[in-house]
Structure 1
Amino acid sequence: MTPAADARPDRPARMPRLPWRRLPLAAAARGAVALALPLLVGQLTGWVVPSVIAAIGALWGVSQDGSDPYRVRVRRLGLTGLSSALGLLAGELALRSGQSVAVAGCLVAAALVAGTVGLRGRIASVGGMHLLLGVTIGTGIPVPGPWWLPPLELLAGVALVLVLSAAPWLWRRHHVERAAVLAVYRSAAEALAAAGSEGAEETRLRMTLALNHAHEVMAGHLASRARWKRQPEVRELVRAFHCAVRLGEAVTALVWEARPLPSAVTGVPLRLAERLLPERDAAPAPPRPALPVTDADSPGGRALADLCAAVDEEPDVDDLTLRLPARSWPGRAARLRYTVLLTGCVLAAHLLAEGLHGPRGYWLPMTVAFVYKPDFGPVFTRALHRCVGTVVGVAAIGAVSLLTSGTYTVIAVVAVFGALMAVGVRHHYALATLGLTAVVFVLLDLLGDERPLHGTRILDTALASALVLVAHFAVWPDSAASRAEAQTEAAVAAARHYRDLAPEAGPIRRQALRRAAYHQLAEARRTVTHARGEPARPGRSLPDWEAAITAAERLCDQVTAQVVAGATAGRS
Structure 2
Amino acid sequence: MKASRRVPFTPLPLAAAARGAVALAVPLLVGVATGRITPAVLAGIGALWGVSQDGDDPYRLRVRRLACTGLSAALGLLAGELALRSGRPGAVTVCLVAAALLAGSVSLRGPLASVAGLHLLLGATVGGGIPVPGPWWQAPLALLAGVAVVVVLCATPWLWRRHAIERTAVRAVFRAAAEALAAAGSPGAEPARRRLTSVLDHAHRVMGRHLIGRARPGTERDALRTAFHTAVRLGEVTSALVWEGRPLPRWAGQVPLLTAARLLPEPGRTAARPPAGTGKTGETGETDRTGETAARPLPETGDTPDPEPDSPGLRALAALAAECGRTRPDAPAARLPAFPWHGRAAQVRYTVLLAGCILVAQLCAVLLHGPRGYWLPMTVAFVYKPDFGPVPRRALHRCAGTVAGVAAIGAVTLLTNDTYVLIGAVAAFGALMAVGVRHHYALATTALTAIVFVLVDLLGDHRALYSARILDTALAAAVVLVAHLALWPDSAQGRARAQTEAALAAARRYRDLAPGAPATQRHALRRTAYHRLAEARRALVHAQGEPGRPGRGARDLPGLSGLADAVGAAERLCDAVSARNLGAAPAASALRAPRCGVAGAMGG
Residue 575 of structure 2 corresponds to which residue in structure 1? 557
* CA–CA distance in structure 2, aligned partners of residues 343 and 315 of structure 1: 53
Which of 147, 156, 162 is 2:145 aligned to?
156
Partner SS, residue 60 of structure 1: helix
CA contact (8 A) 1:11 1:428 kept: no
Q: How many residues align?
A: 554
Residue 129 of structure 1 corresponds to which residue in structure 2? 118
Which of 506, 519, 528 is 1:494 aligned to?
506
Which of 61, 68, 71 is 1:72 aligned to?
61
RMSD: 2.2
CA contact (8 A) 2:227 2:263 kept: yes
Residue 162 of structure 2 corresponds to which residue in structure 1? 173
* CA–CA distance in structure 2, aligned partners of residues 196 and 369 of structure 1: 48
Partner SS, residue 172 of structure 1: coil
Residue 306 of structure 2 corresponds to which residue in structure 1? none
| Deviation digits for residues 3-56 of structure 1 (CA, Å, limit 9, x no counterpart) | xxxxxxx99899x9784x521111111111111111111122222221111100
Give the superposition deviation at 1:368: 0.8
CA contact (8 A) 1:185 1:269 kept: yes
Q: Are 2:314 and 1:301 equivalent residues in the alignment? A: yes
* CA–CA distance in structure 1, aligned partners of residues 218 and 88 of structure 2: 57
Letter of the 1:214 counterpart:
A
Q: Are 2:560 and 1:543 equivalent residues in the alignment? A: yes
TM-score (norm 2): 0.88
In our comparison, the structure showing a higher alpha carbon Rg is 2
* CA–CA distance in structure 2, aligned partners of residues 229 and 128 of structure 1: 39
CA contact (8 A) 2:41 2:459 kept: yes
Residue 201 of structure 1 corresponds to which residue in structure 2? 190
Q: Are 2:264 and 1:277 equivalent residues in the alignment? A: yes
CA contact (8 A) 2:261 2:271 kept: no
Residue 290 of structure 1 corresponds to which residue in structure 2? 295
* CA–CA distance in structure 1, aligned partners of residues 8 and 529 of structure 2: 33
Give the superposition deviation at 1:259: 2.5
Give the superposition deviation at 1:543: 3.0
Pairs within 5 Å for 1:408-423: 408-423=420-435
CA 1:337–1:424 in structure 2 vs 1: closer, same or farther (change >3 Å)?
A: same
Residue 284 of structure 2 corresponds to which residue in structure 1? none
Give the superposition deviation at 1:113: 0.8
Structure 1 segments of 4+ aligned residues over 6 angstroms from their partners: 10-14
Pairs within 5 Å for 1:39-78: 39-78=28-67
| Deviation digits for residues 253-288 of structure 1 (CA, Å, limit 9, x no counterpart) | 222222222322211100000000012221443434
Partner SS, residue 496 of structure 1: helix
CA contact (8 A) 1:323 1:512 kept: no
* CA–CA distance in structure 2, aligned partners of residues 468 and 510 of structure 1: 45
Residue 7 of structure 1 corresponds to which residue in structure 2? none
Letter of the 2:439 counterpart:
H
Partner SS, residue 530 of structure 1: helix
* CA–CA distance in structure 1, aligned partners of residues 73 and 55 of structure 2: 18
Residue 242 of structure 2 corresponds to which residue in structure 1? 255
Q: Are 2:221 and 1:234 equivalent residues in the alignment? A: yes
For structure 2, the 5+ residue unaligned runs are 276-293, 301-308, 588-604
* CA–CA distance in structure 2, aligned partners of residues 282 and 554 of structure 1: 39
For structure 1, the 5+ residue unaligned runs are 1-9
CA contact (8 A) 1:342 1:372 kept: yes
TM-score (norm 1): 0.93
Residue 597 of structure 2 corresponds to which residue in structure 1? none
Residue 179 of structure 2 corresponds to which residue in structure 1? 190
* CA–CA distance in structure 2, aligned partners of residues 422 and 543 of structure 1: 34
* CA–CA distance in structure 2, aligned partners of residues 439 and 231 of structure 1: 48
Partner SS, residue 546 of structure 2: coil
CA contact (8 A) 2:232 2:332 kept: no
Higher helix share: 1
CA contact (8 A) 2:358 2:377 kept: yes
Pairs within 5 Å for 1:214-225: 214-222=203-211, 224-225=212-213
Give the superposition deviation at 1:87: 0.9
CA contact (8 A) 1:498 1:556 kept: yes
* CA–CA distance in structure 2, aligned partners of residues 51 and 290 of structure 1: 59
